[in-house]
Amino acid sequence: MIIIKNKDGEIIKTIEADISKTLLRQLQDNEVEMAYACHTGICGACMCMIESGSENVNKSFKGEPGFPLGDDEVMTCIGGVKDKNIDVVLKTIY
């Protein structure tokens, strides 16, 4: 499961994880409005904090981020999940 929270920590939605799609695509497919711009991991518009489950996140699923990320940060446009049977909690920063 992927749980997405807004910047205030309120749960927006809980969705099933899909290993074939980026986090951003999964959120968009489930009608979660997310900021994004470049789709290449350069701009940072889609960045989220990983509140839990960072070991289950592949930060470079579709490319390398344009700048160094902290252990608890992910660019959702290029990040994905490692397994569909995982739990990840993401929090938007914008």
**pTM given for the model:** 0.95
**pLDDT at position 29, please?**
98
**pLDDT at position 94, please?**
87
> How many separate domains does the chain show?
1
Q: How far apart, in whole angstroms, are the C-alpha atoms of residue 75 and residue 42?
A: 9
Residue range of the domain that includes 22: 2-92
Q: How many CA atoms lie within 13 A of 93 on its CB side?
A: 14
Count of other CB atoms within 10 angstroms of residue 51: 14
CATH value at residue 63? 3.10.20.30
pLDDT tens, the chain, 94 aa long: 999 999 999 999 999 999 999 999 999 999 999 999 999 999 999 999 999 999 999 999 999 999 999 999 999 999 999 999 999 999 999 8
